[in-house]
Structure 1
Amino acid sequence: MNIELDQSLNLVDIDFLSVLSAFDEGVVIADKSGRIVFYNQTQAQIDDLEPDYVIGKSVPEVYSLDQNSSMILRCITGGQPILGELFVYRTCRGKLVNAVNSVFPLMQHGLVTGAICFIKDYYLLDKKISATPAFSPYEGHGYGNGTRFTFADIIGDDEKFLQSVKEARLTADSPSPVMLYGETGTGKEMFAQSIHNHGPRHASRFIGINCAAIPENLLEGLLFGTSKGAFTGAVNKAGIFEQAHGGTLFLDEVDSMPLNLQTKLLRFLQERKIRRVGGSTDIKIDVKIISSVSNNPQQALQEGQIRMDLFYRLAVVFIPIPPLRELKNGVEALSRHFIYKYNLVLGKSVIGVSEKVIDIFRRYHWPGNVRELEHLIEGTMNVIEAEDIIRMHNLPRHFLPPEFTLLTEEASNPALNNRADAENAPEFRGAQSGQPATDEPHIRAVPESLLGLQKTREKELINIALVKSAGNVSRAARKLSISRQLLHYKMKKYGLARGSY
């Protein structure tokens, strides 16, 4: 490792590797080509990856990042340090990490020879960091161009879903218009921003507008701009088309745009020019158009909601995004992702969802799709107390549809929730065997039995994960969707030794 670093960066006489190796922050060094040449043990713990596996690989091979989203690659390209940036990334093995990163270019004779990145895991930050602005699940990490998302943020392994992601990636380099078709909450804007950040326009602005949210009498001026004197109080003002020049314009719910504005949009697509409201001169605009529809486009065409000639201009590339209910294992994967995310945000230690809840999730229609699932997980984790597993009684009562009313009533009483749980409780086993379960009333014994059951379940889950991972703590932590450090703590708590597996 040391020899490789010295040879690639020509640092023969500098003895700092021993210090970096023992550093209590993660340290990653890459050469000018983006190949990782140093990776310390702290970073290995943060990522749950082995140094020998990482060394020699390129940054995109180890992390789900590209030239635009990787801080290391951006630093190498720009030659400028990036300091204290809140950053969320995913490793090649699927672990999501929330960290604060600082990257510095390594210079020799005025030329960039690589970059060194210092990573502070969000869980390990001390109290002095708490004075900085809190990480918000809504603000994302930001790229300075009006976006918060890249393809690295898109979660899913269903074949149909991955095909949509693949098509979106392929169209990123093209100037051709793209239309995204998906129900509310499927992530159309996330796809649009990812396309922008993956393409040659990533350094320019991304502007999104919901055509259904703007009153008709304001939408034209907002899109195309106004000229002084066009109407009382009008001033010379650039519209969104001009503001997005050189970048990407995302027209959400374009099928709700008034027909007279659809005509002006069609003219732009044909001539690549716009004219401000009340103006007399044409303005040439270079912008990539991404649009979206939530309703079936064929139905919108039949009902005259969208002009046919405009539809075919906008849908040069047509990408359907499947709803959550059609994604095999989509609910489980996304639930794990959102649990991890809100563990970080809310300071919780939830490790998963019960089988009964997952069964409900699989059978539920999800009219709000991924957005509804995220809000449900967030809301549930806000009110969950000491439990590590999201169970039926944790779910909000308004969530379940009528066919699950009985389950809701059962879930509202922890003493009745899940007969299998009750049968494993000490008082139930005692009654079955003819032995006295407790000398206190049954209702008073229930809370203690549930607490004991919770701990027993947690220990069993950890034990199973360790057995399946042959004692490998990193792999077991990934199976449980918790950090390696948290798993070590719980193993110590329950007296589970790694050498026993």
Structure 2
Amino acid sequence: MQNHHLSKEMLMAILDGIDEAIHAVDKNGITIYYNKVAAGYDGMAVDEVLGKHLLHVFPSLTEETSTLLKVLKTKKPIFHENQRYENKKGQMLETVNTTIPILHGTKLLGAVEIAKNYGQLNTLSNKLLDLQAKIHETGDRKRLTTFQVTYRLTDFITNDPACIHMLHDAKLFASSTLPIVIWGETGTGKEIVAQGIHHHSPRSHGPFIAQNCGAIPSTLLESILFGTEKGSYTGATDRKGLFEMASGGTLFLDEMNSMPLELQAKLLRVLEDGAVRRVGGTSSIQVDVRIITAMNESPEKCLENGTFRADLYYRLSTCPIYIPPLRERTMDIKAILEEKLQPRISNRLDHEVLSMFQSYHWPGNVRELINTIEYLLLRAKQGPLSYKHLPAKLQQETLKVPPRKSMGALRDILQETEETIIKDALTHTGGNVLRAAKLLDIPRQTLQYKLSKMEKERMSASK
């Protein structure tokens, strides 16, 4: 009995030493464990919570909003769910909870929750955005230096027909106020196109604000986008969100498929009403914002895997733009090399190095190519750029890929391979272009362009 008592004390000491809030309830919702960190988050004493029903201590929660009570009802775990609630003192709290059922076989004994307090992180985020807002409001000229664009559509270097057509569409779309979806792999230049559209639009004198939806915790994204009202949670102040700050200009939401689905629903409401409601607020604020979104996966794939709401997609995709990966537009590699090397070094690029650049698959796309060029320039200094200056990853590729006699032969092989893959996809789908495009994970317009090009080359060869 003494050893059992000692083990229980040790367990309590361990749980109290964990730097996260832990709250456990029995199958009836009565608190059976509540550590000091949880008490500190909630601004309450441990004795105020132990032995009491959860809803008695936190009356603002319900069986639908409490993660602990939901787990008791469903017997299924919940991971990283946001929860806002008031304690008995009327203080608004915000946590992110991971809650799991306590089971003995199939019998439910209770539930335990580990909560992280994002109040402090929210406060720091708010201070940063408050500083941005103050700069934004110090006058038109000063405001533009904070949110101005640095890229034009002419900064997108390309000789590829599909990309030239894409830039033509981008310039056409810029003249409207319709929402735009840009998709392409990481590093293909989505933000260059987004900034270029803003620059060519009637909103070019307004702010351009970019926000990566996957770069910050989802619990902060709502307050960053829509702003906060004082008292909405601990440390919250009256603060404009990015929608208000971008009014009259463009808001660019990158990695849109990383945005939580419940937040996507709120974004859809903003797009339909043209108004935002701050977190904790009761009134709506009219905004005039042009939305450009970007994704690193095809919208169709995001719809299939459930990371993008269908109703939001159809609202945003009026003007779709697809940026092909660098491996599908190898002629652009030489153009980018010439553009980046011309002002930096007078020596010509070694033919062997150029061949390596043309044959490498560039998983990081243009961003990886530019970083590799910077690496080459650093290694070569003012001397000629040769094979020995290549990064190890490119040198290793030469061991895998046999050398070709000429650049023309490589292009022919790439073209033949692409045509074979396209023909196989069409055969597999019975000639259905839309289904073939989905199978190849490219837009239907891109596949139709490639088919048209193949047909012209076939007709030309038969003459």
TM range (shorter): 0.5 to 0.7
What is the CA distance between 1:166 and its match in structure 2? Answer: 0.3
- Match status 1:222 vs 2:194: no
- Match status 1:394 vs 2:389: yes
Match of 1:404 among 398, 411, 421: 398
Match of 1:283 among 271, 285, 289: 285
Matches within 5 A, 1:424-443: none
Match of 2:153 among 151, 154, 171: 151
* Residues 99-137 of structure 1: CA deviation (Å, up to 9, x unaligned): xxxxxxxxxxxxxxxxxxxxxxxxxxxxxxxxxxxxxxx
* Residues 355-410 of structure 1: CA deviation (Å, up to 9, x unaligned): 2111111111111111101000011101214423x21111121344x5424799x9
- Which residue number corresponds to residue 374 of structure 1? 370
- Which residue number corresponds to residue 265 of structure 1? 267
- Which residue number corresponds to residue 353 of structure 1? 349
Off by >3 Å, runs of 4+ in structure 1: 142-145, 405-408
- Which residue number corresponds to residue 113 of structure 1? none
Match of 1:256 among 255, 258, 263: 258
* Residues 448-495 of structure 1: CA deviation (Å, up to 9, x unaligned): xxxxxxxxxxxxxxxxxxxxxxxxxxxxxxxxxxxxxxxxxxxxxxxx
Tell me how far apart the structure 1 counterparts of residues 145 and 198 of structure 2 sit (CA, whole Å): 11
- Which residue number corresponds to residue 68 of structure 1? none
Matches within 5 A, 1:8-407: 145-341=147-343, 343=344, 349-388=345-384, 390-400=385-395, 402-405=396-399
Tell me how far apart the structure 1 counterparts of residues 221 and 378 of structure 2 sit (CA, whole Å): 38
Instruction: Report if the CA contact (8 A) 1:145-1:203 is conserved.
Output: no
TM-score (normalised: structure 1): 0.50
* Residues 5-54 of structure 1: CA deviation (Å, up to 9, x unaligned): xxxxxxxxxxxxxxxxxxxxxxxxxxxxxxxxxxxxxxxxxxxxxxxxxx
Matched to 1:398, the amino acid is K
Q: Residue 394 and residue 150 in structure 1: after superposition, are their counterparts in 2 closer, same or farther (change >3 A)?
A: same
Tell me how far apart the structure 2 counterparts of residues 168 and 143 of structure 1 sit (CA, whole Å): 24
Tell me how far apart the structure 2 counterparts of residues 407 and 364 of structure 1 sit (CA, whole Å): 9
Q: Residue 143 and residue 374 in structure 1: after superposition, are their counterparts in 2 closer, same or farther (change >3 A)?
A: farther
Structure having the higher helix fraction is: 2
What is the CA distance between 1:352 and its match in structure 2? Answer: 2.9
Matches within 5 A, 1:462-481: none
Q: Tell me, what secondary structure is at the counterpart of 1:157? A: coil
Q: Tell me, what secondary structure is at the counterpart of 2:306? A: coil
Tell me how far apart the structure 2 counterparts of residues 150 and 304 of structure 1 sit (CA, whole Å): 34
Q: Residue 405 and residue 226 in structure 1: after superposition, are their counterparts in 2 closer, same or farther (change >3 A)?
A: same
Instruction: Report if the CA contact (8 A) 1:336-1:352 is conserved.
Output: no
Give the paired residue count.
261
Instruction: Report if the CA contact (8 A) 2:360-2:394 is conserved.
Output: no
- Which residue number corresponds to residue 112 of structure 1? none
Tell me how far apart the structure 1 counterparts of residues 242 and 382 of structure 2 sit (CA, whole Å): 49
Tell me how far apart the structure 2 counterparts of residues 386 and 172 of structure 1 sit (CA, whole Å): 41
For structure 1, which runs of at least 5 residues remain unmatched after alignment? 1-141, 344-348, 411-501
- Which residue number corresponds to residue 4 of structure 1? none
* Residues 319-354 of structure 1: CA deviation (Å, up to 9, x unaligned): 10111111141100001111135x1xxxxx343322
Instruction: Report if the CA contact (8 A) 2:184-2:295 is conserved.
Output: yes
Matched to 2:312, the amino acid is L
What is the CA distance between 1:156 and its match in structure 2? Answer: 0.8
Instruction: Report if the CA contact (8 A) 1:225-1:239 is conserved.
Output: yes
Instruction: Report if the CA contact (8 A) 1:226-1:237 is conserved.
Output: yes
Q: Residue 340 and residue 294 in structure 1: after superposition, are their counterparts in 2 closer, same or farther (change >3 A)?
A: same
Tell me how far apart the structure 2 counterparts of residues 143 and 384 of structure 1 sit (CA, whole Å): 36
Tell me how far apart the structure 1 counterparts of residues 330 and 400 of structure 2 sit (CA, whole Å): 26
Instruction: Report if the CA contact (8 A) 2:257-2:295 is conserved.
Output: yes
Q: Residue 304 and residue 407 in structure 1: after superposition, are their counterparts in 2 closer, same or farther (change >3 A)?
A: closer
* Residues 256-283 of structure 1: CA deviation (Å, up to 9, x unaligned): 1001110100001111111000000001
Instruction: Report if the CA contact (8 A) 2:360-2:397 is conserved.
Output: no
What is the CA distance between 1:143 and its match in structure 2? Answer: 6.8
Matched to 1:227, the amino acid is E
* Residues 42-70 of structure 1: CA deviation (Å, up to 9, x unaligned): xxxxxxxxxxxxxxxxxxxxxxxxxxxxx
Instruction: Report if the CA contact (8 A) 2:148-2:208 is conserved.
Output: yes
Tell me how far apart the structure 2 counterparts of residues 161 and 299 of structure 1 sit (CA, whole Å): 22
What is the CA distance between 1:208 and its match in structure 2? Answer: 0.3
For structure 2, which runs of at least 5 residues remain unmatched after alignment? 1-143, 404-463
Instruction: Report if the CA contact (8 A) 1:175-1:288 is conserved.
Output: yes
Tell me how far apart the structure 2 counterparts of residues 404 and 171 of structure 1 sit (CA, whole Å): 42
What is the CA distance between 1:214 and its match in structure 2? Answer: 1.1
Q: Residue 374 and residue 380 in structure 1: after superposition, are their counterparts in 2 closer, same or farther (change >3 A)?
A: same
- Which residue number corresponds to residue 435 of structure 1? none
Q: Residue 406 and residue 315 in structure 1: after superposition, are their counterparts in 2 closer, same or farther (change >3 A)?
A: closer
Q: Tell me, what secondary structure is at the counterpart of 1:249? A: strand
Tell me how far apart the structure 1 counterparts of residues 382 and 233 of structure 2 sit (CA, whole Å): 61
Tell me how far apart the structure 2 counterparts of residues 171 and 351 of structure 1 sit (CA, whole Å): 40
Matched to 2:302, the amino acid is A
- Which residue number corresponds to residue 484 of structure 1? none
Instruction: Report if the CA contact (8 A) 1:145-1:202 is conserved.
Output: no
Tell me how far apart the structure 1 counterparts of residues 261 and 146 of structure 2 sit (CA, whole Å): 34
Q: Residue 403 and residue 270 in structure 1: after superposition, are their counterparts in 2 closer, same or farther (change >3 A)?
A: same
TM-score (normalised: structure 2): 0.54
> Aligned-pair RMSD on alpha carbons?
2.1
